[in-house]
Amino acid sequence: MLRLVFSILVCFAAISILASREAFADVVTCSGLVPMRYRNDKISITDFGAVGDGRTLNTKAFMEAIYRIEHLRRRGGTLLYIPPGVYLTGSFNLTSHMTLYLARGAVIKATQDAKHWPLIAPLPSYGRGRERPGGRYMSLIHGDGLRDVVITGENGTIDGQGAFWWNMWRQRTLQFTRPNLIELINSRSIIISNVIFKNSPFWNIHPVYCSNVVIRYVTILAPPDSPNTDGIDPDSSHHVCIEDSYISTGDDLVAVKSGWDEYGIAYGIPSHDITIRRITGSSPFSGIAVGSETSGGILDVLAEHITLYNMGVGIHVKTNIGRGGIIRNITVSNVYMENVRKGIKIAGDVGDHPDDKFNPNALPVVKDITIKDVWGENVQQPGSIHGIKNSPFTGICLSNINLGTPPIKTPWQCSDVVGSAVKVSPWPCSELAATHQTCSIPF
């Protein structure tokens, strides 16, 4: 009798947990930020002479198909279908009201011939190419001033064949800044889902001066030693939602940015209202990063349910003198990390400068950073927080964090910081108070 009652209770508990999970999943998704578009007008890249043999160069077919979408302007937009096969191409521009649809087994593969990578102007908030002065190579898939664009399908692949570029970087023979795999500038209502991104020459997905961007169910892969292959970098963009994705690259998995030193300060476009959730991945650099290019400001970022393996730094807020800008209201919660060099790093001395014209008195302001519910296994150093001497970081609030049990080889290190730590093990530093009185965000 007792057993029966017990199993009924267990059953009931299981059902209610499932029910609440479902309700949670329902509310907490990117859906609603950008409506999904289903397009009646469909064309295939093969109608424009594309050959998916992995050898034929198809840049012209992509350009002609997209020209047709742009100029025929069918009601509700047009879907460009990429059938199974390997389609070699140089860079091309997307247009508004289109879906780029990669079938299962479809691969859009970047050519390794630099003459099929045109140069474009540097971003005004960077003042120059990120790596080299002057212009930069246009991304493989590029868009400027677009709206209502979907890149999706059945987990087809966009392959940047980055080794060619990584080698130029290693040999210091790069003339201009390497191209991103996808860059969207000044665009809104964007969905990127169910696509695999592989071996980007540089950053993988770079929305800059964009709004209403949803990135979900993507896989992003590059070797751990590939230089600067960031996963997703929302930059001077707002209302961006990134969720349910696996990212394993050679640099930061997700890094929120907003321009570089005097150029970013002058351009003045912040990143705000950024949600990042249910991301799993690994990298020798950072898992969830803010910065280091933060000159336009970075506000209202929420990252939650993050799982990290074999990482450099789990959570990293990074900026520098000369950046200016404000970093405020950043919340990171529910993070599990395993085999990590450093769990949490908040630092005011990270990243290089575009040139020697940066203003050393342009000190960034960092305040109201909440990090809670973090669990780590095999973490070499739990964390460090180093503010800036004349601009201490304030409202840095840590709670319910367990990054290993003492003795720890390298303990926490802090300077120029005001905030609190409650239920944090190992204990951070004397600079942080043991109650949350100084925290603006309620726990």
Ligand X SMILES: *[C@@H]1O[C@H](CO)[C@@H](O)[C@H](O)[C@H]1NC(C)=O
Q: Known catalytic residues?
A: 251
Minimum CB–partner distance for residue 38 and ligand X (Å): 16
Q: Does 155 bind ligand X (CB under 6 A)?
A: yes
Query: Which is nearer to ligand X, 122 or 234 (by Cβ)?
Result: 122
Q: Which 72-111 residues touch ligand X, going by CB under 6 A?
A: 93
Q: Which helix (H) or strand (E) holds 402?
A: strand 393-402
d(CA 58, CA 63): 9
d(CA 390, CA 429): 20
Q: Does 144 bind ligand X (CB under 6 A)?
A: yes
Minimum CB–partner distance for residue 160 and ligand X (Å): 18
How many chain residues bind ligand X (CB under 6 A)? 9
Q: Phi then psi for 355, rounded to 5 degrees?
A: -165, -175
Q: Given candidates 161, 219, 280, 402, which one binds ligand X under the rule CB under 6 A?
A: 219
d(CA 338, CA 354): 35
Q: Does 191 bind ligand X (CB under 6 A)?
A: no
| Strand 53-57 to 85-89 pairing | parallel
Q: Which 193-212 residues touch ligand X, going by CB under 6 A?
A: 194
Query: Which is nearer to ligand X, 142 or 257 (by Cβ)?
Result: 142
Q: Does 217 bind ligand X (CB under 6 A)?
A: yes
Q: What residue number has its CB nearest to ligand X?
A: 144
Q: Does 120 bind ligand X (CB under 6 A)?
A: yes
Q: Which amino acid is present at 323? A: R
d(CA 101, CA 241): 20
Minimum CB–partner distance for residue 409 and ligand X (Å): 36
Q: Does 318 bind ligand X (CB under 6 A)?
A: no
Q: Does 355 bind ligand X (CB under 6 A)?
A: no
Minimum CB–partner distance for residue 252 and ligand X (Å): 20
d(CA 172, CA 249): 21
Residues 6+ apart with CB under 8 A from 10: none
Minimum CB–partner distance for residue 63 and ligand X (Å): 6
Query: Which is nearer to ligand X, 122 or 296 (by Cβ)?
Result: 122
Query: Which is nearer to ligand X, 278 or 323 (by Cβ)?
Result: 278
Query: Which is nearer to ligand X, 91 or 370 (by Cβ)?
Result: 91
Q: Does 154 bind ligand X (CB under 6 A)?
A: yes
Minimum CB–partner distance for residue 211 and ligand X (Å): 18
Residues 6+ apart with CB under 8 A from 293: 126, 235, 257, 258, 259, 260, 264, 323, 351
d(CA 341, CA 310): 8
Q: Does 398 bind ligand X (CB under 6 A)?
A: no
Q: Given candidates 142, 238, 278, 436, which one binds ligand X under the rule CB under 6 A?
A: 142
d(CA 129, CA 178): 9
Q: Which amino acid is present at 248? A: S
Residues 6+ apart with CB under 8 A from 312: 283, 284, 285, 286, 340, 341, 342
Q: DSSP character for 405? A: P
Query: Which residues in this chain contact ligand X in the complex, by CB under 6 A?
Result: 93, 120, 142, 144, 154-155, 194, 217, 219
